[in-house]
Structure formats: C-alpha cells, structure tokens
Amino acid sequence: MKKIIFVGGKGGVGKTTCASSIAFIHSKKNKVLLVSTDPAHSTSDLFDIKIKQQDELYKYSENLDIMEIDGEKEAELYLSKIKRQCNLMLSPVIMGEIQGQLNKAKNSPGTYESSIFEKINKIITGNQSYDYIIFDTAPTGHTLHLINLPKSVNIWMNTLIKKRRKILMLKNMKFKKKDRIEDDRVLDILEKRRDNLVKISEILGNPKIVSFYFVMNPEKLSFLETKRGIKSLEGYGIKVDKIIINRVYPDSIDEFWQEQKNNQQKFIEFIRIEFSGR
Ligand SMILES: Nc1ncnc2c1ncn2[C@@H]1O[C@H](COP(=O)(O)OP(=O)(O)OP(=O)(O)O)[C@@H](O)[C@H]1O
Ligand SMILES: [Mg+2]
C-alpha cells in the first residue's frame, strides 16, 4: 500500500469530481481502489456505470476498481453485529434490556459515523494489494475523533482480554476442567478486534501513508468554510496535505467573462498565500 487519500470539503465543491479524477490519473500507473460513501451514487453516475450492490468491486479498468458504500446499510449491519456479539457474552435477561437500546441506537448521533469508520477500517485492512485507496469524502467530526481512538481503545481492549483470561482460568480451577483458554469464542472476538485496531491505528496514524485533501472553490464563502474546516481537522490532530482549488475559469475564455476571471485569479493568489506550505 503506497497511499490512502481522503478527499474532503463542503457540499457541492467538487469532491466526487476531484476524487474520481485523482483515482483515474493514478490508475494509469498504479492499482487504485476508489471508494464512495455518497448516498446519491454520484460516482457511478460520473463513470456511467451501474454498481449493483453494496461491497461490489466494480472493475472499471485494468487498474481501477470502484466501490460505493451505503452508510444507512452499514449502520444496520454494524448494530446487528454488535447484537450478535452481545448475545455471546451477556445473559438473556441483560440482553433483553440491551436489545431495546440497540434498536433505538440506529438513529442516534455517532452510530452512522462509527459504522462508516468500521467499514473504512475493513476496506483498508482487507485491500492492502492496492497502491492507492482513494475515499471520496473525508470523515468529519465524530468519525475523525474515532481515528484517534484506537490507541486508547487498545489499552481498554487489553484490560478486557486479561480479565477474560483470568475468568476462564478461575472457571477451569473451580470446576476442575482443562478447557483450552485459546478456544474461547469471546476471547477470540476480543483479540481479533484488538489486533485490527492496532493494525488500523498503525496505518491511519502514519502520515507517509494517509493524506487528507481539501477541495474548495475560489470564492469568499468557500474560502472561509475551508479555513474553518482545516482548523477543525487540525483540532483532531490531522494535517491537510493538499488543497484543491476547483471551478477555476479556463485560460481560453470569452471576453465577457474576462473581468470575472481576473478577479478569480487575484483571489487564487490570495488563497495560495493563506494556505502556503501545502
Ligand atoms: N471543475 C468543474 N467544472 C465544471 N463543473 C464542475 C467542476 N467540478 C464539479 N463540477 C460539477 O459540479 C457539481 C458538483 O460536483 P461534485 O458532485 O463533484 O461535488 P461534491 O463535492 O462531491 O458534492 P456532494 O457534497 O453533494 O457530494 C457536479 O454537477 C459536477 O459535474
Ligand atoms: Mg460527492
């Protein structure tokens, strides 16, 4: 894996257009996976393809695969997985109470982001053979918080694993059994989850692998939004590597638009200075 690129920015600035263009250009020399989380399926519209189902890898060309993920469906799958795992670990009485809470959780804040994050992790760890994985739409707010989470969750998971091992040992001693601790399903789930979190935090925490690009338009409102967006990302310890200025008037332009183009050029110079170093 050479690089993972998240292409973010406010609504309608051209994220899908830019992410698709970047993926297309890189696919000339590298193996690329383009992943979209856009519920409007703009990526398949742009490439003029039909992706039949969630998780399907659409082979657009020799080097370019495209995947569209559905946030709503991911949230459902995520919650049913939690239910299955709770079923394994908890008594039916407690499970009955939790069931109701989990049913309500689908629409609660954070569930959508957590499930998308889980999915992003899965895509990254399961598709290491690509040179580039490009995500159309960068995770925002809550999801970004989750990028920093694996480190602390790892400590918590290790404590849970130790506790589970201790319980199994005590159970063996009490009932004079010789059950193999390694065969315990709960321990297996906890250890797999911990290993995944370690793997993903090593990848996402490596700025040589992960890049954040921010798309903006050369006008005042987009500039101000971008400035705030970058500040918010930096608040999560994430550096924006590149800023893409989209919707720039072409060089050959009608005289009618020339004044607009001159003003835009002046503004682009200003943006370059403001965001220099990227
Ligand atoms: N450089 C450009 N020149 C002309 N049209 C453009 C350019 N970039 C994007 N567009 C058009 O602008 C519209 C919005 O672009 P796009 O869908 O890429 O934005 P987006 O940021 O992904 O939007 P959303 O936030 O809704 O996902 C599309 O119709 C697209 O074709
Ligand atoms: Mg889009």
Task: Using 70 as the pLDDT threshold, list the residues of the chain that sit under it.
Answer: 89, 102, 105-106, 108-110, 138-153
Q: What confidence tens digit (pLDDT) does each residue in 136-193 have? A: 976 555 555 556 665 666 777 788 889 888 988 898 888 877 777 778 888 888 888 7
Q: 222 CB less than 6 Å from ligand 1? A: no
Taking the CA of residue 18 as reference, the ligand 1 atom at the shortest distance is: 18
Taking the CA of residue 11 as reference, the ligand 1 atom at the shortest distance is: 25
CA 14 to centroid of ligand 2, rounded, Å: 7
Return the closest-CA partner of residue 223 out of 272, 258, 278, 277: 272
Domain boundaries, the chain: 3-274
User: Thinking of the domain 3-274, which architecture would CATH place it in?
Assistant: 3-Layer(aba) Sandwich (3.40)
Q: 246 CB less than 6 Å from ligand 1? A: yes
**CB 43, CB 11: distance < 8 Å:** no
Q: 11 CB less than 6 Å from ligand 1? A: yes
CA 226 to centroid of ligand 1, rounded, Å: 16
The pLDDT, as a whole number, for residue 34 is 97
The pLDDT, as a whole number, for residue 191 is 87
The pLDDT, as a whole number, for residue 141 is 52
From 7, 17, 261, mutation site for ligand 1 pocket: most ligand atoms within 8 A of C-beta: 17
The pLDDT, as a whole number, for residue 20 is 97
Query: Cα angle at 123 between 61 and 37, to 5 degrees?
Result: 80
User: Going edge to edge, which strands form the sheet with 3-8?
Assistant: 58-59, 64-68, 32-36, 132-136, 3-8, 210-216, 240-245
The pLDDT, as a whole number, for residue 125 is 86
